[in-house]
Amino acid sequence: MAETRIIHGFHAVTARIRQSAESISEIYFDTQRKDPRMRDLLKLAETHEVRLMPVDAKRLDGMAGGTARHQGVAARVSTATRVKHLDDVLDTLGEPALLLVLDGVQDPHNLGACLRSADAFGVHAVIAPKDRAVGITSTVEKVASGAAETVPYITVTNIARTLRELKERNIWVVGADGEAEKDLHAFKHTGPLALVLGAEGEGLRRLTKETCDELVRIPMLGSVESLNVSVSTGVMLFEARRQRAQ
C-alpha cells in the first residue's frame, strides 16, 4: 500500500490538485463552509475527478493536528510523487543550477517560508538532511502556500558529502555566515550555484562551513545581530537572481 500523508489549507490543496491530482486519494471538506473559495476548490477537484469527502470541522481539526488552521479543507496524498534524487533534477536542467541547502532547519514555519521563497526565485531544488531537520509536515505545506508541491525537496544523509558532490559537478557552494569577511555586495557569481543556510540560532555547522567554496554575510545596519533563516533565504536568493538577470 502506498505511503500517504495529510496536507491542509487552501493553497496547499489547490496546488496539489493542479500539480498532481492523481496523487490525491481524497479531499475532506467542511460541510458548513459554503463560501466562494470553497466552491471554487470543490469545482476544481471535480474537474480533475478527485474524490470528495464531506466531514465536520472536528474531524478536520484532528487531521490537521488540532492546533493547525486547516481552513476547512484537507487532503490525503501519496508521498511517492516527490523527487528523491538530486541527479533527477540536475540532469534535466536547461539553465545553470540554483539550489538551496538548509543545514538543519527545525521550525516548520521557517521551512515553509524558505520553500515559498525558493518557489518565488526559481530554485531548482531544496536540499536538507534526513536527521535533525523538520522535514515536510502539514504545517510546512500550509505555510509554503503550495510551494512544497512545486519545488523538489530532497533529503540526504550527509550534507557535507552532498556539497562535495555538487562541487564535483562544478556547482559553486556558498554558505551564509554572519562572521564571513566578504559581504553580499562583494559576492559575484552567475554560474551554477548552491546557497547554504544554517539552522535557527546555530547557523552553519563546522563541517558544512568548511566544505563551502566561500562564505558571505548579509550586511546588517541595525542593532540586531542576525536575520531569521527564512528572511536570509529570501535575501540571498534575490541577490542570486538579480545578478543572473544582469
Mind listing the pLDDT tens digit for each residue in 2-16?
578 888 888 888 888
Structure confidence at residue 235 (pLDDT)? 95
Could you read off the pLDDT of 115-139 as tens digits, one per residue?
Answer: 999 999 999 999 999 988 888 887 8
Q: Is the pLDDT of residue 163 over 80?
A: yes
What are the sequence ranges of the domains in the chain?
Answer: 4-78, 86-245
Q: What homologous superfamily is domain 86-245 in, according to CATH?
A: SPOUT methyltransferase, trefoil knot domain (3.40.1280.10)
What DSSP assignment string belongs to 46-111? HHTT--EEEE-HHHHHHHTTTTS--TTEEEEEESTTS---HHHHHTT-SS--EEEEEES---HHHH
Could you read off the pLDDT of 179-191 as tens digits, one per residue?
Answer: 899 999 899 999 9
Q: Is the pLDDT of residue 220 over 90?
A: no
Distant-in-sequence, close-in-space partners of 243: CB < 8 Å, separation ≥ 6: 188, 189, 190
Count the Cβ atoms, other than its own, within 10 Å of residue 156: 17
Q: Is the pLDDT of residue 224 over 90?
A: no
- Assess if CATH 3.40.50.150 describes domain 4-78: no
Structure confidence at residue 1 (pLDDT)? 47
Enter the pTM of the model.
Answer: 0.73
Phi/psi of residue 125, each to 5°?
Answer: -165, 150
Distances (CA, A) of 44 to 14, 91, 150, 169: 8, 33, 18, 41
Tell me the average pLDDT across 41-61: 93
Q: Is the pLDDT of residue 23 over 80?
A: yes
